[in-house]
A = this chain, B = another copy of it.
Amino acid sequence: MILQYAILGFLLRSSLTGYQLGKIFSKSLNLVWVASLSQIYRELRALEKHGLVISRQEKQIDRPDKVVYTITEAGETAFRDWLKNYPEELFTEKRDEFMLRVFFGSSMGKDELINHYKHFIEERLEMKKALEAAREETDLLVKKSKSDKDQMTNLDNLSTEFLYRRASMSIETTLHWAEQCLVELEQL
């Protein structure tokens, strides 16, 4: 289960509660791998059953007690093994409702199809803005926490940059595609 490795990857950096993991997922990994809280809680229990993480209860006065999970040596080994070996088959989901609608486009009228493309383009433009905002935010964080010399010299920041770049390029391409489709449809 890939989600388990993602959790281990975060726990390798620091011990965390399920709730904190949920936050981290939605903030840093939302473009790449979505995970709901209840999923995270379940996988944490599964990981503990297999001895890849251990938990300890922490009492709190003002808030409910929390369960902090720490990666074990076995967990670190499992994570590193997974990470270093390129898999025979990469997990990539491909279920795209918009493309399905385009596929059945001839069952729509031309105007309906055009309407679909316009909506789609609007959405991508908003996604583009949201992505740029998120990117600037992480840039600020990096600048705050690192000296100028360190910037972009380590794998961590470079990988984050690559990730944003891919998301951005992907949206840009999709926009070009949709706009071109729209032009050709309207010429019809």
Contact = CB atoms under 8 A, between A and B. Distances in A.
Contact of A156 (B12, B83, B106, B177): B106
Contacts of A112: 83-84
B101 A91 contact: no
B155 A103 contact: no
Nearest to A94: B34
Contact of A12 (B28, B97, B100, B107): B107
Interface residues on A, range: 35 or more
Interface stretch (A42-50, A140-148, A164-172): A164-172
Interface in A171-187: 172-174, 176-177, 180-181, 184-185
A36 to B, nearest CB: 12
